[in-house]
Amino acid sequence: MKDNIKYEHHKFIADKGQNPLRVDRFLLNFIEFATRNKIQQSIKSGNVRVNNLVVKSNYKVKSNDIVTVVLNYPKLKNELIPQNIPLNITYEDDDFLIVNKNAGMVVHPGFGNRDGTLVNALAFHAESLPNMGEEDRPGLVHRIDKNTSGILVVAKNDMSMNNLAKKFSERNLDRRYIALVWGNLKDNNGTITGNIGRNLKNRKIMDVFTDGDYGKHAVSHFKVLERFGYTALIECKLETGRTHQIRAHFKYLGHPIFNDSDYGGDMILKGTTFSKYKQFVQNCFKICDRQALHAKSLAFKHPSSNKEMFFDSDLPKDMKELIEKWRKYAIHKSL
């Protein structure tokens, strides 16, 4: 390798409960934006090791295996540019800050989004933020999707980064989301369990795999807050934090999030065939032109004081209007 070229270096430790899984499929679960061809090329080049030994693509990763990979062509990176972008910071101290992200804002730079992200704004707001080995994600302990609104915690020093990252890893916190989903759920409370991994045909979305040999263990708890007949307002508590977890889990349950274009929620899935109803739903799509999902609250113990902290946020205007429109429709329909 030439010293002046940056390559992607990754290290993963397989979970204790990891079932034997081909190393190429294992890496596809963990490396965002990676393709099967890209990983296969790295394996052929001898750049994938398990427990410090070079392996072939058919090697089966087992419990506690240490997998390292150097992807065999450079990842294009640009210097992170601080940008004076307004942020809704609802709490801040020496250790962390809480930001209420608007829908439509990308959290960190990536392919096609080198600037204008939350991280660009954070780099302007704070001179120095810690990172967990990823230069373009300083301060980030967790993420939410571009078109999901709501609360994020951002670490301001190494101590808080390590402390908060451990809380997320060990599930020692409380995260709750509010969503409008299609359909009238059978139960008022429930738990969705199913491994989540990248769709085998479309790498941009996730799927739920129930056989346990693909994806990462994921658990979502929910309760119904209000029923509108053809849709329902739910609160979701995450036990794990996988990419697109709520969106994939509710599609798997048969109740995709309203207007979630990636998971089939942008079609009229429930209701009548009357033209007035179709127009009503189309108007709802216009009111909330993204998935109706909001990261509502976050609770954890303070990294320094160990004091219980709780942060809550109001629903954004588009979701408030959407919910009220469905509420009025449900009342009118019942008369």
C-beta separation of 195 from 206 below 8 A = no
Other CB atoms within 10 Å distance of the CB of residue 163: 20
Q: Which two tokens stand for residue 52?
A: 């410090």
User: Look-up: residue for tokens 């052929």?
Assistant: 44
Say which of 65, 136, 145, 260 is annotated catalytic: 145
- Going from the C-alpha of 134 to that of each of 77, 119, 139, 249, the distances in angstroms are 11, 12, 10, 28
Q: What are phi and psi of 174, to 5 degrees?
A: -130, 115
Coil, strand or helix at 261: helix
DSSP tally for the chain: helices H, then strands E: 7, 17
Helix or strand holding residue 22 (H, E): strand 21-22
Q: What are phi and psi of 187, to 5 degrees?
A: -110, 155
C-beta separation of 185 from 249 below 8 A = no
User: Alpha-carbon dihedral of residues 139, 71, 145, 14, nearest 10 degrees?
Assistant: -80
Catalytic status, residue 136 = no
In angstroms, the CA 157 to CA 318 distance is 35
Catalytic residues: 145
